[in-house]
Structure 1
Amino acid sequence: MTTTGTHETEIVVPTDLPIVRIVREFDAPVAKVFRAHVDPDLFARWNGPRNLTQRTEHWDVRTGGAYRYVHVDPDGNEYAFFGSVHEVRPDELIVQTFTYEGFPDGVSLDRLQFEELPGGRCRLTATSLVDSFEGRDGFVSSGMEVGIREGYEQLDEILAES
């Protein structure tokens, strides 16, 4: 578990399944957290580690849509990600694929579930089914935890703005 401000980011990697489950609560209503996942400008502001900038090249987050974005580090190195959006239910669910172009044979099927909590808060549960145990372990060892932790810290900051 990683502590992020007043909230913990729980990252669960079962030994018997090729999945990664991330659970995080936010002090904002579901509608705001959901919007931060589908609005390309908001998503680019919080997604990933603080030391990277994001360039969105294609963004169509709707059922049947697709996306591609590139993270750029301070030295100008680029890391591209893309996927297909299989289903979007506003303020409830996003189902998509996710691929890092640096490992093009690896793909995960991601399910992001948004749950309303008392007090106008939200719980996000993101479950990634990876195509192999090796792919899952590579995903987890790639520094993913830093990007998730720092990304959610940035999302907390954005949610507090409005």
Structure 2
Amino acid sequence: MNRTGTLTVSTPGDREVQMVRVFAAPRRLVFAALSQAELLKRWFSGPPGWSLQTCEIDARAGGRYRYVWHNSASGEVMGMSGEILEYVAPERMVSSERFDQAWYEGDAISSIVLSEAAGQTTLTLTVRYASQEVRDAVMKFPMAAGVEMGYDRLAAWLATDEAGAALADLG
């Protein structure tokens, strides 16, 4: 198990990468920030210089999603899409994942599980790849650093008045 700042990364099986992060926010708000396009747009921008230009999500089992990021300096575009396989608000979302660019062979399956205790939400993201070779290749990329950067932005947004208003809207 590796800890990279606020993110704990492990490989619980031969095809999986698991990342765990704790947020100082209620589970229903964290889940909403992961599953509602208008909230994803607040924090899911990618590395510095990148912005989320397309953010579409039909948040239900059988729904689809599409994200497209643009790099303002280089003009590069990175897209990702998939199908939501399971959707149990506010505790679990499982989806397929495929990048437009062939970063790795085949689709991956991403599972997000949220648990709450004492006002803190633990997010466990498990990504299962097509093979151990694909998982090992992905681990050579700075994937964990990118996920940690995104989750740091999410944590910062969760601490804002805007997030408090979103929580009030959730009821």
Partner of 1:108: 108
1:102-131: CA deviation from partner (whole Å, max 9, x where unpaired): 11742111111010111x110000111110
Q: TM-score, normalised by structure 1?
A: 0.89
How far has the Cα of 1:46 moved from its partner? 1.9
Structure 2 residue matching 1:139: 3-state secondary structure: helix
CA RMSD of aligned residues (A): 1.6
Structure 2's unaligned 5+ residue stretches are: 165-171
Give yes or no for contact 1:46–1:154 (8 Å, CA) kept in 2: yes
The list of structure 1 runs, each at least 4 consecutive aligned residues, that deviate by more than 6 angstroms after superposition, is none
Report the Cα distance in structure 1 between the residues aligned to 2:97 and 2:41, rounded to whole angstroms: 16
How far has the Cα of 1:57 moved from its partner? 5.1
- Alignment counterpart, residue 26 of structure 1, candidates 11, 23, 26: 23
Report the Cα distance in structure 2 between the residues aligned to 1:61 and 1:139, rounded to whole angstroms: 27
Report the Cα distance in structure 2 between the residues aligned to 1:139 and 1:42, rounded to whole angstroms: 27
Partner of 1:2: 4
How far has the Cα of 1:101 moved from its partner? 1.5
Partner of 2:141: 142
Residue 39 (structure 2) pairs with residue 42 (structure 1): yes
How far has the Cα of 1:140 moved from its partner? 2.2
Give yes or no for contact 1:40–1:56 (8 Å, CA) kept in 2: no
Range that drifts further, 76-85 or 97-106: 97-106
Aligned length: 156
Give yes or no for contact 1:45–1:54 (8 Å, CA) kept in 2: no
Q: TM-score, normalised by structure 2?
A: 0.84
Structure 1's unaligned 5+ residue stretches are: none
Give the 3 Å change call, closer, same or farther, for CA 57–43 of structure 1 in structure 2. Answer: closer
- Alignment counterpart, residue 59 of structure 1, candidates 57, 60, 65: 57
Give the 3 Å change call, closer, same or farther, for CA 117–141 of structure 1 in structure 2. Answer: same
Partner of 1:160: 159
How far has the Cα of 1:138 moved from its partner? 2.7
